[in-house]
């Protein structure tokens, strides 16, 4: 132990610390300065823990406190407050650089150090200054703009007041700042791991180290004797159904079948996390290790054992039949084929898993309270209730550090709830990043053997596809992933005949779940690749080929749904001058080591699924404001802004008079999941209906206030319900109306390929998007930019290998140094049924990005890549195969 004197946020302090104590733990655990975040298991890989020490950026997870004698430390809490923010914090809010906000404190402090030393940095200097700081939401573009804006503020060139939206600005169509963005900029937004729960037990989970095994027994004796251990629970201690998955085969704790590396078998509760982890490591597993089937080919092989005994490994089949594709392809002037592969991909939210659970009350009347980062709190509360066998479960959603579909599934919550109930004490479950990667669903791998044809005039004739989707070990939403892929298979194009045979296959690998786009991104890779292959075979320009094959009003999609509106062609038309300019620029770089290419891809993304329903309530407040109630999660996409701006517009109120109550099952109706770009379309329209009911009551009674409404015998609160009543798609034929509306867009990638190293750099992405009526242009642009960055990662560098991918160095999603220029052009074609004509955009945004980039690579070097990601090794191998 050593006594250290230092200054933190202007306050002189003394601390007696052990030699291995790092600054991050001192700040978060001792001083409750939780603005500094922990993402990378204290490896210095993420920058979320960045603070300033003696005027320089320091990753506090690496810095020993014993090395800080006399140091001056500044955390984000010491920079400014919501009432008196620093100009850099103002700039991040106004530029739209804050989405989930998990990375924001570290970004802001890194920016301060950069601007202190270089008041007017170049874009390259900004990238270098933020090279240690990761962001998964934004694509870095708005962060770079925030740094530049902060420089302008600090140089006195403009002020925040000049850029803030005004009180009398129309709530609709204006880029108002998000409701919680300043709280996040000041490090005060409370994420799950930030919650102080004095006296809570820390839990650790004992997990299988094998990809496939049978559990024969557990030896707990040594672990139970270890210091600080309160107890150990197994599957036998769970009183409920012991299932936490969306299917019926994912136990909270396993007792026999261990189908995947990381399957949970026991929970250790201890006084400290260190003690819990030590005891968990001491639990001995007696396992019969079995041969693992890590991919679909192995799992489908003759004689392959069933991964879940009694259930075939081919666990779901679906198809799509429109006309006679086989006959159409036989008559086609040109046919192309390919075996396309989209790998297992991690959604990679920066925040690891974290859950707090406790019993509120005593005895059988106690309420089991779970605090986590769900985007579907009402169903998840019910799932926890069923899993652990407790009738009264409340779920509170903390701020979440991104999710991108990963929190459609229960992960850490059921384990924490089971432990709180069993040990009858509050518990915290804060798994490492590595463990978080083990226990969360991923984007499904797709293998797509595809044939696609066109006639001599360049018109598409049909497509055949054998689609094999690797489900992984547990059932989540695999069948829905296939259905979504089929229902958007034709994208924005008219494909007259379609025949698809799709299989979902269990494997001994990480299980697939929701991931941004959820099915269409994988299928679109094959379709858009074939579009380019056909254009080349016909000697047509890829843009012109897409233009003449764009679906027209009255024609039908691959699932037979008639296009009653189709803004896709308008997006393509708007892109044309950008495409012509990019083609001319690339033409000058078709030889030599660095070669340039241009690629296109599009998407028509459906929203409003059959049977979907959302409930939103409104209440007129005593001060004349409006409270909006709905379980509308916002882990970064902007739902809070959507509800606030829409509510203010509908009631003709200033935005500060709108109050959101959205994160608690006890105070909200069920608004459905925040996924699939559904919240704007579904909950936004439910809000419209609720306000209409309130306004009708006020008009009927002549009331203008809550008091007058109640005096007239009317309630102050009204519910809006938005329901999708169409019937959906037949699973055998893949025909039927699936979507109530579509978001349309096209993207263009410009890339530079090094033919000696195989390295691919995205130079620029250009997106033209029509998301209907736009509520907040900046929020829409931010979603598009973040999606394009994620799509670029999918195209070039991201692939998850279960058991080998363990941190942010081994999972290579884009860094600030990989950032590229982005340009977004927004079109507005109001839709018939969305709130004031609006629909969602967040899921759509990456669907065209990766195929556009892969197409651009081929344009640059004449080589087609059929598997992603296009790593340097794969690019070089493809080049060598054409040479030989």
| Euclidean distance between CA atoms 500 and 519, whole angstroms | 14
Contact yes or no for 160/181 (Cβ under 8 A): no
Contact yes or no for 648/175 (Cβ under 8 A): no
Contact yes or no for 688/720 (Cβ under 8 A): yes
| Euclidean distance between CA atoms 653 and 168, whole angstroms | 10
| Euclidean distance between CA atoms 99 and 135, whole angstroms | 10
Nearest to 276 by CA among 207, 227, 234: 227
CA 65 centroid distance within chain: 35
DSSP for 508-573, written as a single string:
SSPPB---TTSSHHHHHHHHHHHHHHHHHHHT--HHHHHHHTB--TT-B-TT--B-S--THHHHHH
Nearest to 121 by CA among 95, 147, 155: 147
Give the chain's radius of gyration (CA, Å): 27
* 3-state DSSP of 704-722: CCHHHHHHCCCCCEEEEEE
Active site includes 843? yes
Side-chain half-sphere CA neighbours of 263 within 13 A = 29
- Tokens 């969360």 correspond to 440
* 3-state DSSP of 368-436: EEEEECCCCHHHHHHHHHHHHCCCCEEEEECECCCCCCHHHCCCHHHHHHHHHHHHCCCEEECCCHHHH
Output b/e per residue, 326-346; b: 16+ Cβ within 10 A: eebbeebebbbebebbbbbbb
Q: CB burial class (10 A; 0-12, 13-18, 19+) of residue 398?
A: buried
Distances (CA, A) of 701 to 85, 647, 696, 704, 711: 45, 22, 9, 9, 10
Nearest to 598 by CA among 715, 753, 728: 753
Contact yes or no for 744/492 (Cβ under 8 A): yes
* 3-state DSSP of 64-113: EHHHCCCCEEECHHHCCCCCCCCHHHHHHHHHCCCCCCCCHHHHHHHHHH
| Euclidean distance between CA atoms 353 and 419, whole angstroms | 16
- Tokens 């939210």 correspond to 349
Q: How wide is the angle at C-alpha 797 spanned by C-alphas 43 and 37, nearest 5°?
A: 30
Q: CB burial class (10 A; 0-12, 13-18, 19+) of residue 166?
A: exposed
Question: 658 — phi, psi (to 5°)?
Answer: -100, 130
| Euclidean distance between CA atoms 183 and 82, whole angstroms | 6
DSSP for 319-358, written as a single string:
EEEES-HHHHHHT-SEEEEEEEEE--B----SSPP-EEEE
Contact yes or no for 22/60 (Cβ under 8 A): yes
Catalytic residue among 77, 90, 413, 843: 843
Instruction: Fill in the DSSP letter of residue 311.
Output: B
- In 166-293 the beta strands, taken as DSSP E runs, fall at 201-207, 213-219, 229-234, 257-258, 264-270, 284-289
Q: Is 591 helix (H, G, I), strand (E, B) or coil?
A: coil
Q: Which residues are catalytic?
A: 843
């Amino acid at each position: 132990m050593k006594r250290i004197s230092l200054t933190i946020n202007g306050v002189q302090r003394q601390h007696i610390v052990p030699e291995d104590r790092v600054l991050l733990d001192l700040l978060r655990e001792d001083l409750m300065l939780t603005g500094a975040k922990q993402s990378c298991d204290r490896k210095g890989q993420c920058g979320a823990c960045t603070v300033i020490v003696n005027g320089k950026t320091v990753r506090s997870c690496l810095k020993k406190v014993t090395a800080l004698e006399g140091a001056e430390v500044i955390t984000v809490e010491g920079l400014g407050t919501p009432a008196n923010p620093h100009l850099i914090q103002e700039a991040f809010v106004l530029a739209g650089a804050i989405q989930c906000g998990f990375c924001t404190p570290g970004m802001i402090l890194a920016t301060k150090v950069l601007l202190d030393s270089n008041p007017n940095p170049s874009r390259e200097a900004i990238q270098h200054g933020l090279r240690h700081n990761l962001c998964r939401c934004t694509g870095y573009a708005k962060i770079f703009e925030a740094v530049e804006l902060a420089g302008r503020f600090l140089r006195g060139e403009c002020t925040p007041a000049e850029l803030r939206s005004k009180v009398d600005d129309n709530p609709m169509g204006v880029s108002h700042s998000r409701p919680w963005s300043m709280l996040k900029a000041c490090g005060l937004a409370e994420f799950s791991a930030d919650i102080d729960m004095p006296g809570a037990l820390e839990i650790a989970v004992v997990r299988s180290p094998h990809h496939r095994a049978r559990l024969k027994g557990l030896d707990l004796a040594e672990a139970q004797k270890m210091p600080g251990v309160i107890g150990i629970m197994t599957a036998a201690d769970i009183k409920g159904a012991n299932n936490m998955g969306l299917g019926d085969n994912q136990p909270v704790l396993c007792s026999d079948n261990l189908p995947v590396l990381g399957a949970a078998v026991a929970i250790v509760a201890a006084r400290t996390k260190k003690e819990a982890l030590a005891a968990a490591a001491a639990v001995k597993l007696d396992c019969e290790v079995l041969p693992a089937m890590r991919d679909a080919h192995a799992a489908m092989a003759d004689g392959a054992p069933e991964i879940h005994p009694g259930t075939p490994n081919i666990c779901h089949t679906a198809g799509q039949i429109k006309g006679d594709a086989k006959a159409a392809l036989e008559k086609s002037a040109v046919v192309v084929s390919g075996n396309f592969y989209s790998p297992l991909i991690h959604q990679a939210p920066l925040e690891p898993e974290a859950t707090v659970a406790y019993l509120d009350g005593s005895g059988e009347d106690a309420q089991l309270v779970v605090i986590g980062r769900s985007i579907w709190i009402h169903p998840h509360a019910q799932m926890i209730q069923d899993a652990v066998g407790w009738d009264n479960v409340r779920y509170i959603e903390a701020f979440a550090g991104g999710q991108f579909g990963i929190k459609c599934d229960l992960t850490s919550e059921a384990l924490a709830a089971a432990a709180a109930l069993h040990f009858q004490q509050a518990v915290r479950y804060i798994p490492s990043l590595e463990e978080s990667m083990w226990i969360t669903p991923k984007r499904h791998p797709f293998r797509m053997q595809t044939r696609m044809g066109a006639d001599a005039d360049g018109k598409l004739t049909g497509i055949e596809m054998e689609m094999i989707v690797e489900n992984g070990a547990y059932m989540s939403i695999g069948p829905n992933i296939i259905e979504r892929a089929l229902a958007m298979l034709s994208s924005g194009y008219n494909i007259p005949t379609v025949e698809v045979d799709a299989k979902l296959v269990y494997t001994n690998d990480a299980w697939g779940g929701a991931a941004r786009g959820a099915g269409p991104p994988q299928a679109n890779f094959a379709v858009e690749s074939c579009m380019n292959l056909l254009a080349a075979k016909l000697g047509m320009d890829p843009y012109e080929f897409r233009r003449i094959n764009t679906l027209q009003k009255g024609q039908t999609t691959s699932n037979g749904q008639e296009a009653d509106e189709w803004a896709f062609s308008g997006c393509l038309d708007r892109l044309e001058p950008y495409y012509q300019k990019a083609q001319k620029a690339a033409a000058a770089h078709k030889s030599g080591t660095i070669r340039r290419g241009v690629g296109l891809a599009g998407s028509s993304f459906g929203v409003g699924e059959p049977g979907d329903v959302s409930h939103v309530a409104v209440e007129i407040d005593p001060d004349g404001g409006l409270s909006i109630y709905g379980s509308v999660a916002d882990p970064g996409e902007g739902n809070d802004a959507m509800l606030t701006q829409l509510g203010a517009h509908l009631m003709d109120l200033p935005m500060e008079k709108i109050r959101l109550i959205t994160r608690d099952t006890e105070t909200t109706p069920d608004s459905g999941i925040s996924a699939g770009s559904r919240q704007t379309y579904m909950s936004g329209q439910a809000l419209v209906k609720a306000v209409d009911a309130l306004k009708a009551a006020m008009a009927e009674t002549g009331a203008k206030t809550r008091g007058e409404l109640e005096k007239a015998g009317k309630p102050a609160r009204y519910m809006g319900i938005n329901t999708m009543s169409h019937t959906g798609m037949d699973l055998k034929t893949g025909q039927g109306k699936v979507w109530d509306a579509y978001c349309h867009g096209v993207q263009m990638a410009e890339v530079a390929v090094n033919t000696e190293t195989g390295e691919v750099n995205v130079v620029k992405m250009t997106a033209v998007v029509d998301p209907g009526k736009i509520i907040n242009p900046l929020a829409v642009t931010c979603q598009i930019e973040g999606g394009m960055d994620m799509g670029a990662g999918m195209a070039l560098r991201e692939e998850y290998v279960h058991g080998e991918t363990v941190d942010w160095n081994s999972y290579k999603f884009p860094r600030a140094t990989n950032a590229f220029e982005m340009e977004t052009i927004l079109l507005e074609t109001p839709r018939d049924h969305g709130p004031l004509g609006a629909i969602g955009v967040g899921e759509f945004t990456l669907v065209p990005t990766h195929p556009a980039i892969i197409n651009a690579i081929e344009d640059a070097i004449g080589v087609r890549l059929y598997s992603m990601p296009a790593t340097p090794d794969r690019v070089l191998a493809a080049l060598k195969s054409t040479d030989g």
